[in-house]
Amino acid sequence: MSPRRVRAGSDAVGRQDRPLRITVDGEPVDGIAGQTIAGVLLADDRLAWRRGRSGAPRGVFCGIGVCFDCLVTVGEERDVRACRRRALDGDVVTTQSRQDAEPAPGTEER
Amino acid sequence: MTHRHVVVVGAGPAGLAAAEAALSAGARVTLIDASDRPGGQYHRMLPEAYDAARPEVLHHGWRAFDRRRRRVLTRPRCAWWSDTSVWALERPDPERPGPPRVHVLHGPVDGGGRRRLTLDPDALVLAVGAHDRVLPFPGWELPGVFTAGAAQALAKGERVVVGDRVVVAGTGPFLLPVAASLLEAGSRVLEVLEANTRGTVARGWSRRPWQLAAQAGKSGELAEYAALLIRHRVPCRTGRTVIEARGDGRVEEVVTARLRADWSAVPGSERTVAVDAVCVTHGFSPQLELPVAAGCALRTSPGGEFVEVDADQATSVPGVYSAGEITGIAGAPAARAEGALAGWLAAGGDPRASALRPLRRGRDQGRAFAARLARAHPIGAAWSGWLRPETVICRCEEADYASLCRAATRPESASARVAKLETRAGLGPCQARICGPTVAELNTRLSGAPVEPPAEGLPAPVPHRRPIAQPIRLGELAAPSEPAADGSAPRHL
């Protein structure tokens, strides 16, 4: 087993789930309103979605927008921190790789 | 009534207290936070869309926090700018005293069409907090290795648990709430490992025990977490840590080892534990890019570099105040006291007001607590013994230990600047936020040359200098910014 979302029925905080659906590289992934894109991916048992310079898989590390490991493309926007961006129903998410990408994607914008 | 305009950056315990005190002193306040809800990491709130009936079950001191945030955010003189990142602090004329101009972006995180605004406050309170410091070890870049803060944020902030068989390791009291969060959300926590030996921890905490009594709120909170771990029969061990994570494409097992007081691993003490996630923290790194951009002086302490403040929480820059973890890692009660002092004084409130006495006392107790924390949970110098030549040091650029050793021991590249260009360590998207302190420490140790003269024509290298504090897209940079001058400033963003 792996990452997952606490089931709403047994969650002590008493939450109301409103479902949403995003696509990741064309595949539909279900989540709930309020989750970050990283949260949706983790709860769907996806631990990694980005590839580093060597091709090594990466997912969430710091979880609070500091490490930039979890970057994804949302619609036309590259380099969005998945751990901080709330997922919106219909978001079209594309995974990224830094392999063979020189200079590093996005760095010219920073 | 002072009618000064105070900008507070960060709406965690320190920033929220600062905003409240500044409002009480009569100021107009703009409270800025990158998140869509106040609370910071300590009081990270569930998303509004979750419509949670009992959010308080996940929080310590929820009621006081909830009351305070409502009180602050509904005050007519308070503008609450959520989803807003400060991407630059600008000193148009470094000779002119006073706070810098504040450049912000408002809109979805890393979105392309955010609103760009500028503020020219009469005083600025920086309360931007800290993030986990994690030392590298073989395999720490594998998916399934999380910072303790990530596990906490996911469990508390959106009810996602990182795994079902989890080891929590590193050093500091933060290990306990993280393990407690995981247990609450239904994970199995296999063990909690404090790297420091029982002797180091006991000596650090029990020196001057009366100082601890003053932080009774904090120790009561920790005792509750400890009781929860006992109830769930989670073993808590001192003098042991995770020295390696292994797995094919994701973490599948960790190797733990017994540590001596200097954090050297005891040969033959290794154990292999099957896990699906591991959560690690070795203390906290304060987020120093904004204070450095504002020109604030830093101080070096055993726990690392922090913003230097005086007894009034004033930094070395007139009109700029600082509170919370960026002035020292002391926890939420101290952050609240510091924030309240900073906010009141930034607003031009009377420094002799009697209400400040308990705040100053709370702040001083917090500083004593911070010193004990640093003594009880230091990073042992021999940690680098876990590293192998191929161990990744800079996660972004995948610079390994061998390349750092090569660059640091060759005279032509021994200076930090040249080593950086050669290894690319610290030049990736995170801008050395994760590996910076580690690379600096290893480089100093390997080259034996701690102090470096500035290269001709270049400013002296400052590790926390990030003139662009948060990513901004070229389109946003090119767009004209809206001046949020007096009166025209949007109330809420």
- What is the domain extent for residue A38? 16-96
Same domain, B141 and B93: no
Tens digits of pLDDT across chain B (493 residues):
558 999 999 999 999 999 999 999 999 999 999 999 999 999 999 999 999 999 999 999 999 999 999 999 999 999 999 999 999 999 877 777 889 999 999 999 999 889 999 999 999 999 999 999 999 999 999 999 999 999 999 999 999 999 999 999 999 999 999 999 999 999 999 999 999 999 999 998 876 666 666 666 677 888 889 899 999 999 999 999 999 999 999 999 999 999 999 999 999 999 999 999 999 999 999 999 999 999 999 999 888 899 999 999 999 999 999 999 999 999 999 999 999 999 999 999 999 999 999 999 999 999 988 998 999 999 999 999 999 999 999 999 999 999 999 988 887 776 777 777 888 898 899 999 999 999 989 988 888 765 455 455 555 556 788 889 999 998 898 888 887 754 445 667 7
B111 touches chain A (CB under 8 A): yes
> What pLDDT score does A108 carry?
42
Give residue B101's region: left, alpha or beta (phi > 0; psi -120 to 50): beta
**Facing A104 at nearest CB: one of B161, B162, B429:** B429
The whole-angstrom separation of Cα B392 and Cα B413 is 20
- Whole-Å CA distances, B455 to B316, B405, B431, B452, B464: 26, 22, 21, 9, 18
Domain boundary among B282, B305, B339: B282
pLDDT digits (tens, 9 = 90+) for A66-103: 999 999 999 999 999 999 999 999 999 999 998 865 55
Of B46, B250, B395, nearest to A13 by CB-CB distance is B46
Domain count, chain A: 1
Q: What is the pLDDT of residue B487?
A: 45
Which phi and psi angles does B52 have, rounded to 5°? -70, 130
- The residue in chain A having the minimum alpha-carbon distance to the alpha carbon of residue B37 is A34
Residue B109 placed within a domain: yes
- Facing residue for A48 by CB, picked from B52, B250, B276: B250
Residue B481 domain-assigned (yes or no): no
In a domain, B376, yes or no: no
Query: Residue A1 falls within a domain, yes or no?
Result: no
**What are the chain B neighbours of A39 within 8 Å (beta carbons)?**
154, 158, 160
Residue B374 covered by a domain:
no
Report pLDDT for B421.
Answer: 81
Residue B325 at interface with chain A, using a CB cutoff of 8 Å: no
Q: Nearest by CB to B51, which of A2, A16, A80?
A: A16
Answer whether residue A74 is part of any domain: yes
B223, B326: one domain: no
Which of B230, B249, B282 is where one domain is finished?
B282
How do residues B221-273 score in pLDDT, each as one tens digit?
888 898 999 999 999 999 999 999 999 999 999 999 999 999 999 999 999 99
Instruction: Tell whether B151 and B56 lie within a shared domain.
Output: no
Q: Is B427 exposed, middle or buried (0-12, 13-18, 19+ CB in 10 A)?
A: middle
Residue A47 lies in a domain: yes
- Tell me the chain A residues in contact with residue B158 when contact means C-beta distances shorter than 8 Å: 5, 34-36, 39
Residues B160 and B181 in one domain: yes
Residues B10 and B114 placed together within one structural domain of the fold: yes
Number of domains in chain B: 3
**Is residue B4 within 8 Å of residue B123, measured between CB atoms?**
yes
From chain A, the residues in CB contact with B468 under 8 A are 110
Q: What is the tens place of the pLDDT at every residue in B154-187?
A: 999 999 999 999 999 999 999 999 999 999 999 9
Q: CB pairs below 8 Å between A and B: how many?
A: 188
Q: Phi and psi for B477 in degrees, rounded to 5? A: -65, -35
Nearest CA-CA partner of B139 in B57, B230, B251, B256:
B251
Does the beta-carbon distance from A60 to B150 stay under 8 Å? Answer: yes
Of B173, B270, B167, B185, the closest CA to residue B225 belongs to B173
Establish if B122 touches chain A: CB-CB under 8 angstroms: no
| Same structural domain, B97 and B145 | no
CATH number of the domain residue A25 falls in: 3.10.20.440
- Residue from B261, B258, B231, B224 nearest B243 by CA: B258
Query: Do B48 and B104 fall within a single domain?
Result: yes
d(CA B461, CA B417): 7
> Hey, are the CB atoms on A86 and B108 less than 8 Å from each other?
yes
Same domain for B211 and B266?
Answer: yes
Query: What is the structure's pLDDT at B363?
Result: 94
Q: Does B472 touch chain A if contact means CB atoms closer than 8 Å?
A: yes
Q: Are residues B164 and B216 in the same domain?
A: yes
Structural domain includes residue A59? yes
Confidence label for A107 from pLDDT (cuts 50, 70 and 90): very low
> CATH no. for residue B332?
3.50.50.60
Please indicate if any CB of chain A lies within 8 Å of the CB of B474: yes
Residue of A nearest to B277 (CA): A2
Contact flag B184-A65 (C-beta cutoff 8 Å): no
Identify from B59, B158, B228, B473 which residue to disrupt to test chain A contact, counting A C-beta atoms within 10 A and taking the largest count.
Answer: B158
* Residue B243 within any structural domain of the chain: yes
pLDDT tens sequence across A10-23: 999 999 999 999 99
Chain A contact present for B468, CB below 8 A: yes
Bridge partners for B265 per DSSP: B259
Q: Which of A32, A37, A47, A58 to mutate to test the interface with B (most CBs of B within 10 A)?
A: A47
Residues B186 and B248 in one domain: yes
Asked whether residue A109 is domain-assigned, the answer is no
Q: Which domain holds residue B439?
A: 396-429+432-447
Question: B398 and A11 in contact by Cβ < 8 A?
Answer: no
- Collapsed DSSP state (helix, strand, coil) of residue B144: coil
Q: Does residue A104 belong to any structural domain of this protein?
A: no
Cβ contact, residue pair B184, A12, below 8 Å: yes
Q: Cβ of B47 and A35 within 8 Å?
A: yes
Identify whether residues B163 and B222 lie together within a single domain: yes
Closest approach of B187 to chain A, Cα-based (Å): 9
Residue B214 maps to a domain: yes
The residue of B109, B392, B465 whose CB has the most chain A CBs within 10 angstroms, and thus the best one to mutate to test that interface, is B109
CB contact under 8 A, A47 and B250: yes
Tokens of B171: 């050093």
d(CA B420, CA B106): 33
Residue at A37 is within a domain: yes
Regarding whether B289 and B277 lie in a shared domain, the answer is no
